[in-house]
Amino acid sequence: MNRIPLIAGLLVAGTLLGVVLSPTVFGALTGLVQEMQTAPLPGKHPRPVPVNPGAIVATFSEQKSAGPVILTGVRESELGDALASMGLSPERERVIADEVKSHRYRLLWLTVWDWDGDVVPDRISITSGDYKRQMELPKARKTIAIPAPPSRYIEISGDSHNVGYEGWTTLALLSGERPIALSRLVSGKSVQIEIDSAD
């Protein structure tokens, strides 16, 4: 039974008969009418409020430029793990270890991965100053040490033999705690990434 006409009729009848309704009673009746008007009918569901897609902030999206990437410096207590992650010969490890301990060389932690997660992993080349290495780009995040670049820029390129879609390389990296998915690198092309140290 629809009670809105009944309540509205009581209000009108009270007015015609000269009955003065107290503000409390009048407010309660008015609120009840408004509540019943907004309540959905049985078997009906309220229409969902449209959401503006532009108001949703993506936490992980493809970007043309990474901007300055924040990397953390390798501590002295982490030096052994850092050197082991760099793919160096034993002799080169000893040289860099001595230079780091004498503060002539500085290492940074770089975390990279394949954001597209191809079945066949991509390969990349990383260049930082006089340091250059090739490595497989894994689906899971991989953290390696690199020398702090004198120019503030490192270069990362996709291997020209990558077999993903059209040979694209889908590179992601961490800037501080923020993941960045770079736009697909065309086969054999490279990207310059500005490095900013967190400490």
Q: Of 86, 159, 164, 56, nearest to 120 (Cα)?
A: 164
Q: Enter the pTM of the model.
A: 0.64
Domain coordinates in residue numbering, the chain: 1-51, 62-197
Q: Checking DSSP bridges between strand 62-63 and strand 178-182, what pairing results, if any?
A: parallel
Q: What tens digit of pLDDT does each residue of 105-155 get?
A: 999 999 999 887 667 777 889 999 999 999 988 889 999 999 999 999 999
The pLDDT score that the predictor gives to residue 127 is 96
Give the DSSP letter of residue 57: P
C-alpha 151/C-alpha 149 separation (Å) is 5
pLDDT per residue as tens, the chain (199 positions)? 444 444 445 444 444 334 444 444 444 444 444 444 444 444 444 333 333 333 333 334 445 555 789 999 999 999 999 999 999 999 999 999 999 999 999 999 999 998 876 677 778 899 999 999 999 888 899 999 999 999 999 999 887 776 655 556 788 999 999 999 987 776 767 889 999 987 7
Q: Of 132, 134, 115, 111, nearest to 124 (Cα)?
A: 134
